[in-house]
Structure 1
Amino acid sequence: MSLAENSNNWRSGLSLAECNRYMLTHQIHCDVTFRVGKEGKLVRAHKYVLSSRSPVFDAMLYGDLAESDDIIVPDIEPSSFDALLRFLYCDDDSFTPDRVTSVLYAADKYGVDDLVTKIKSHLDQNITNETVLTVLESAKSFNLEDLLKKCKNFIESDPFAVLQSSSALEMTKETLTYIISLDSLVMDELEIYRFLIKWAENQCDRVGIETIDQNIRAMMGDLIYLIRFPLMNLDIFVKDVCNREILNVQEQIPLQQVIVGNLDKKNTKLQFVERKSKTFCVLRGDCRMIDSWSCDGLADCIEFTVNKTVRIHGFVMWGGLSIPYAYTIQGKLFANSEEVSTVPVQTIEKRKSSDIKFTIPLPEPVRLAPSVRYRAWVRLEGPTSWRGHSYRSSVTDHGVKFNFYTHIGENNATSSDGGQFPGFVCSL
């Protein structure tokens, strides 16, 4: 007995959605045939279901120009078309992450607005370091401006983590172009350049060519011109760029001259505009007390974490009780106990009555990343200074949350609620 003849058995106790699923799975009374994907896989379905859920299918199947032969669908893979049918038949919106974009394409093509809405919501709620690049590509492909903005903000909050994800090296050239074109990308140009090399090496591996500098450069194409080499200092450019032949000699020499200011910038395709950043001062509190804070050469330390990527440019310190004053200073920044920046020993003098505080700039801005414990370390030698009290242990500024902790170890008594380090100079 056929499934159709035994209809009373399989229909018994099933909901409409379950009946539809059963009919689709077992190909009962199908009356329309599709040839799907590049291989033209045979897929059978039911006109009444498709036309009731999709205005596009309704026009194709029952309109004035209704198709009578097999319907050719070369631009959708069978697994994605199957996901579309499962939604139309029984509202099944489960599909694997790697199919999100292709299922969205299918839903958009056939005007299945309910599925488009569900996929948009799914993408919006599942943006992570591993998924954001895929979501970004979907947002760009389907002009989803709100979703695109959310992806942009997510990437800008910690671009280094995104570019370290397992999916980063697989992103399309168009997506990579979008990311490294962002003026607001909080990464050093050298970091961006190094990632671009890794991406190009991966592209070489995918097409089976040797990962030599000439091939890497060919894979980069015009992407190389998005690296703002003129913003690097000369030492970094010579040490980390000129040691390879990704830029040829005819490009390296003029760039060196541009960096030191001896060449007209119009003679190169490379960009000179600095990435836009917001510089701000993160204050732990603005209280001070007249009683003395000894600066006898013992280092002051404070530990802190951030919740999103930000650059730190320097430490704000309390100055002397009276003007003028001078301090011999030395500074360091540690990341998980590893020294990442050093301010050499030098003298700072202040003569204005407004100089209650002064800033110790780092030699180069340092990118702070989430989930890393940082320690600011400064040794002052000079007169007694002001000191802060009633600091806040947690401060949010420009969307960046700073948590402060007392350093246990060599420390001139600075803590999470008092002492030195009233603030830090940062940028986004």
Structure 2
Amino acid sequence: MENAHLFSDPELHQKSLEFIENHSEDIMQSKLLKDLGPECLGEVLRSDKLAASEEDIFAAVLSWADCRCTEKGLEVNGPNIRQVLGDLLYLVRFPLMPPDGFVAISEQNVGLFTSNEEIKLLRGQIKNEFSKTQFPSRKRQGTLLQDVCYRFNDNNISHGWSYSKPDTLQFTVSKAVDVVGVVLFGNPSSTYNVHVGIIELNQTVYRTVTVESTEKTFKVLFSKPVPVKAGSYYTLKADLQNGPSGYKENNGLTSVTCKSTVFTFQTAPGTNNYTATPRQIYGIIFST
């Protein structure tokens, strides 16, 4: 995107922006925006089509600001981060964050916000009204209708599941949806090389993912949403390729209603990591 901007190539510039929008969660979590200039970063932050949490977006912005501070020989702290960001700070949609998330950011970056900005944001969180703050509160379209259909009730999670073979799960939906990705069980602070696919649609994605230190699950997203039709069974396959032992849960639900869409699950033919039922596929991320 930055090269397209430098060489005034509007077509490549637009395609680069669309790529970032379509892969925004991966890009934000990988902090790949740090090589952009301020103009391009600003354009990305103005986009309503980013499908990533505002916390991940801010983390990417913070990584960008850290690099700029280092380039300028500045200590990485709240006031200097604000200095290098300038008005870019006002493109982060802090009102979309949960209150505890914003408070944590403020405490970790003392001096990033003025006292007046902090007060207006916190009051806005209480009243759910942000007209008096300079930070935008409009939801990004890419995150509006995305949800997760979970197969388990979290009543019987246990550790010690090894990943010697793939898990396969068949599912059908009561109305057409786009499958965005899956949620898999893993082990905190562990790294997995993952293949996830929908066999009938020849859709496969490969990702290397590190599980957060406080989490038992992780997300794997397809390169773009995969449309599935109502009433047809699809086979979801997840292969963690002999990754570290992690968590599992027994007794997956056979039917779950999510956002008025009924997901029906059944075990796919063949083995599931030497068991009769798939236990590592925790949920399906979808949009309507």
TM-score (norm 2): 0.56
Q: Does 1:397 align with 2:226?
A: yes
Aligned to 1:261: 127
Candidates 230, 252, 264, aligned match of 2:118: 252
Q: Does 1:143 align with 2:3?
A: no
Candidates 176, 179, 183, aligned match of 2:44: 179
Aligned residues: 211
Q: Give the aligned CA root-mean-square deviation in angstroms.
A: 4.6
The residue identity in structure 2 corresponding to 1:179 is: V
Aligned to 1:206: 71
**Unaligned ranges ≥5, structure 2:** 169-178, 191-204, 219-224, 229-233, 253-265, 270-275
Q: Does 1:273 align with 2:163?
A: no
Distance 2:209 2:6 in 1: 31
Aligned to 2:173: none
Distance 2:90 2:185 in 1: 32
Asked if the contact 2:184/2:283 (under 8 Å) is kept, the reply is no
Taking structure 1 as reference, are residues 402 and 216 closer, same or farther at Cα in structure 2, changes over 3 Å only? farther
Asked if the contact 1:190/1:232 (under 8 Å) is kept, the reply is yes
The Cα offsets for residues 6-57 of structure 1, whole Å up to 9 and x where unpaired, read as xxxxxxxxxxxxxxxxxxxxxxxxxxxxxxxxxxxxxxxxxxxxxxxxxxxx
Distance 1:171 1:195 in 2: 11
**Unaligned ranges ≥5, structure 1:** 1-132, 284-294, 313-332, 341-367, 378-395
Distance 1:149 1:419 in 2: 45
TM-score (norm 1): 0.40
State the shift of 1:196 in Å.
Answer: 1.4
The secondary structure found in structure 1 opposite 2:10 is: coil
Distance 1:403 1:184 in 2: 27
The Cα offsets for residues 356-413 of structure 1, whole Å up to 9 and x where unpaired, read as xxxxxxxxxxxx9944499979xxxxxxxxxxxxxxxxxx7249x9942489976448
The residue identity in structure 1 corresponding to 2:112 is: I
Q: Does 1:154 align with 2:19?
A: yes
Taking structure 1 as reference, are residues 167 and 334 closer, same or farther at Cα in structure 2, changes over 3 Å only? closer
Asked if the contact 1:406/1:415 (under 8 Å) is kept, the reply is no
The residue identity in structure 1 corresponding to 2:33 is: A
Taking structure 1 as reference, are residues 160 and 397 closer, same or farther at Cα in structure 2, changes over 3 Å only? closer
Asked if the contact 1:299/1:411 (under 8 Å) is kept, the reply is yes
Distance 1:220 1:230 in 2: 18
Distance 2:283 2:29 in 1: 30
State the shift of 1:165 in Å.
Answer: 6.4
Higher RCO structure, 1 or 2 (CA under 8 Å, sep 6+)? 2
Distance 2:206 2:87 in 1: 29
Counterparts of residues 179-328 of structure 1 (less than 5 Å): 179-244=44-109, 245-261=111-127, 263=129, 265-277=130-142, 279=145, 310=180
Taking structure 1 as reference, are residues 260 and 402 closer, same or farther at Cα in structure 2, changes over 3 Å only? farther
Asked if the contact 1:158/1:369 (under 8 Å) is kept, the reply is no
Asked if the contact 2:146/2:285 (under 8 Å) is kept, the reply is yes
Taking structure 1 as reference, are residues 249 and 427 closer, same or farther at Cα in structure 2, changes over 3 Å only? farther
The secondary structure found in structure 1 opposite 2:284 is: strand
The residue identity in structure 2 corresponding to 1:397 is: V
Q: Percent identity of the aligned residues? A: 23
The residue identity in structure 2 corresponding to 1:424 is: I
Distance 1:167 1:422 in 2: 28
